[in-house]
Amino acid sequence: MKKITKICCIGAGYVGGPTMSVIALKCPEIQVTVVDLNEKRIAQWNDEDLDKLPIYEPGLKEIVAQTRGKNLFFSSDVDKGIDEAEMIFISVNTPTKTYGKGKGQAADLKNIELCARNIARVAKEDKIVVEKSTLPVRTAEALKSILDNTGKGVKFEILSNPEFLAEGTAIEDLLNADRVLIGGDETAAGQAAKDALSWVYEHWIPKDRVLQTNVWSSELSKLVANAFLAQRVSSINSISALCEKTDANVAEVSRAIGFDSRIGSKFLNSSVGFGGSCFQKDILNLVYIAKSFGLTEVADYWEQVIIMNDYQKRRFADNIVSTLYNTVSGKKIAFYGWAFKKDTNDTRESAAIYIADALLDEMAQVVVYDPKVKEETIYNDLDYLGTRSPEENRRLLKVVSDPMEAAEQSHAIAILTEWDEFKTYDWQKIHEIMLKPAFVFDGRRILENEKMEKLGFKFYKIGQSH
């Protein structure tokens, strides 16, 4: 069996960076080079100060400290990285298309195609190309067609090896993956390539957790896994609305149903709505694929997961407005949290963005505090929506680095990310410095009703009427 000695990963993002760091840590005999067109990002990965890495993930900087410069390298020389490697991972972003056919649903495969053309142009020897990005089923076919038409006689084996890590727990997920999925051609060369990649993972993942399938099952399984996970969040969020009308408590319902081993207890936390760069994008992609095969009912079924998520975000914003006597105009509303979940600085598709946008439409004065997200990112997120001018966004929304400053003289606090530090704040002090009545809207269910009510807050928690 072929033992890989040089790996290149195209894309130094939330997946490429942590995944390759862990491969470098666990496979000291393999040289791993992560390349990216974005020179600023590469410079951040190479920064002496490990607190300046472009991605915040618990445990990441410690691994980079151990491996960088030994067998882990970050470079903007994409061609060299490709040329030297026997195995190339493609881990570039595949966002929802914002133009042309499939706009708003299909995955934009522009970056993937650029990578394939780059590999085709540079490669002089046979290579294994691994799809790490999440891709629509049958993308490997397009990749193969581009790679096989180089006219240089170089042979490529294409594997699908989707990533299942969740942000905030990326390192833990990579070190103890539930499974690793490897799809490849059912030919002798395809089998050899699958075995070569399995060997890499088997440095630390038990053999029985490395699953091999055909390419199409692997590509499709990734979209389906995300759709099933997001469906659970939308399912429990739909019930949270019903709980608020019926005096049932969504946490008690989650616990009661989760004890059934057939249902299971994970991913049943009701929230202000799921965010992140993948759930929405991947479900929309699944919807688009189903539609393109004429499977309307299948498309509608999965689209409902997104519709429910939009409803949950809108419901939270509407509730703030109606509770604050039907107007938030000129009222200071503090946001605790902007990231789409705790322990990450990623804000892509975060519910906070949409809730801020809805409140800014009502002329609220929003003040944001998040322990890891930069001011620049917050304004970029809002500007990207295009609802109002960048100047107007900066006039209506402020970003602060102190949670007390955010709370000071505010009418309400909305908790939008479940950062642990929010639980340990001196909520009595916060109550004192807020305007009265002091409202707290807990979109993450991290604070206790009894305690908050005792302190004098008007307290609203998603999925609970009192």
Ligand X SMILES: NC(=O)C1=CN([C@@H]2O[C@H](COP(=O)(O)OP(=O)(O)OC[C@H]3O[C@@H](n4cnc5c(N)ncnc54)[C@H](O)[C@@H]3O)[C@@H](O)[C@H]2O)C=CC1
| Site of interaction with ligand X (CB under 6 A) | 10-16, 36-38, 41, 78, 91-94, 111, 114-115, 133-134, 163, 165, 167, 277-278
Closest by CA to 462, choosing from 264, 280, 236, 306, is 236
Cα dist. 5→24, 88, 196 in Å? 11, 12, 11
**Minimum distance from CB of 37 to ligand X (Å)?**
4
Q: Which does 269 bind (CB under 5 to 8 A by kind): ligand UGA, ligand X, none?
A: ligand UGA
Q: Are the C-beta atoms of residues 60 and 171 closer than 8 Å to each other? A: yes
Closest by CA to 159, choosing from 167, 147, 170, 176, is 147
Cβ proximity to ligand X: between 221 and 254 the closer is 221
Q: Which does 340 bind (CB under 5 to 8 A by kind): ligand UGA, ligand X, none?
A: ligand UGA
- Distance between CA atoms of residues 377 and 299, nearest Å: 33
275 binds ligand UGA (CB under 6 A): yes
- Distance between CA atoms of residues 340 and 370, nearest Å: 11
- Active-site pick, 8, 9, 115, 278: 278
Cβ proximity to ligand UGA: between 164 and 301 the closer is 164
What does residue 35 show for φ and ψ, rounded to 5 degrees?
A: -120, 155
Cβ proximity to ligand X: between 174 and 359 the closer is 174
Site string for ligand UGA, 137-176 (x = CB under 6 A): --------------------------xxxxx---------
Q: Which does 133 bind (CB under 5 to 8 A by kind): ligand X, ligand UGA, none?
A: ligand X
Cβ proximity to ligand X: between 114 and 396 the closer is 114
CB-based closest residue to ligand X: 13
Cβ proximity to ligand UGA: between 82 and 447 the closer is 447
Q: How many residues bind ligand UGA (CB under 6 A)?
A: 20
Q: Which of 268, 287, 321, 356 binds ligand UGA (CB under 6 A)?
A: 268
Q: Are the C-beta atoms of residues 83 and 3 closer than 8 Å to each other? A: no
Q: Are the C-beta atoms of residues 156 and 126 closer than 8 Å to each other? A: yes
- Distance between CA atoms of residues 280 and 38, nearest Å: 25
**Minimum distance from CB of 111 to ligand UGA (Å)?**
16
Length of the chain equals: 466
**Minimum distance from CB of 226 to ligand X (Å)?**
8
198 binds ligand UGA (CB under 6 A): no
Q: Which does 115 bind (CB under 5 to 8 A by kind): ligand UGA, ligand X, none?
A: ligand X
274 binds ligand UGA (CB under 6 A): yes
Cβ proximity to ligand X: between 302 and 369 the closer is 302
Q: Which of 109, 239, 278, 407 binds ligand UGA (CB under 6 A)?
A: 278
Q: Which does 8 bind (CB under 5 to 8 A by kind): ligand X, ligand UGA, none?
A: none
**Minimum distance from CB of 161 to ligand X (Å)?**
11
**Minimum distance from CB of 18 to ligand X (Å)?**
9
Q: Which does 233 bind (CB under 5 to 8 A by kind): ligand UGA, ligand X, none?
A: ligand UGA
**Minimum distance from CB of 405 to ligand UGA (Å)?**
25
- Distance between CA atoms of residues 423 and 372, nearest Å: 16
Q: Which does 274 bind (CB under 5 to 8 A by kind): ligand X, ligand UGA, none?
A: ligand UGA
Q: Which does 12 bind (CB under 5 to 8 A by kind): ligand X, ligand UGA, none?
A: ligand X
Cβ proximity to ligand UGA: between 127 and 341 the closer is 341
Closest by CA to 409, choosing from 430, 440, 383, 388, is 430
Query: In the structure encoding, which two tokens stand for residue 191, read together?
Result: 């089998």
- Distance between CA atoms of residues 333 and 353, nearest Å: 14
Q: Region of 101 please: left (phi>0), alpha (psi -120 to 50) or beta.
A: beta
- Complete edge-to-edge strand list for the sheet that includes strand 332-336: 397-399, 365-369, 332-336, 412-415, 439-442, 458-461
341 binds ligand UGA (CB under 6 A): yes
Active-site residue, 278 included: yes
Cβ proximity to ligand X: between 15 and 53 the closer is 15
Q: Which does 425 bind (CB under 5 to 8 A by kind): ligand UGA, ligand X, none?
A: none
446 binds ligand UGA (CB under 6 A): no
Cβ proximity to ligand UGA: between 165 and 171 the closer is 165
- Distance between CA atoms of residues 195 and 177, nearest Å: 18
Catalytic residues: 278
Sites of contact with ligand UGA (CB under 6 A): 134, 163-167, 226, 229, 233, 267-269, 271, 274-276, 278-279, 340-341
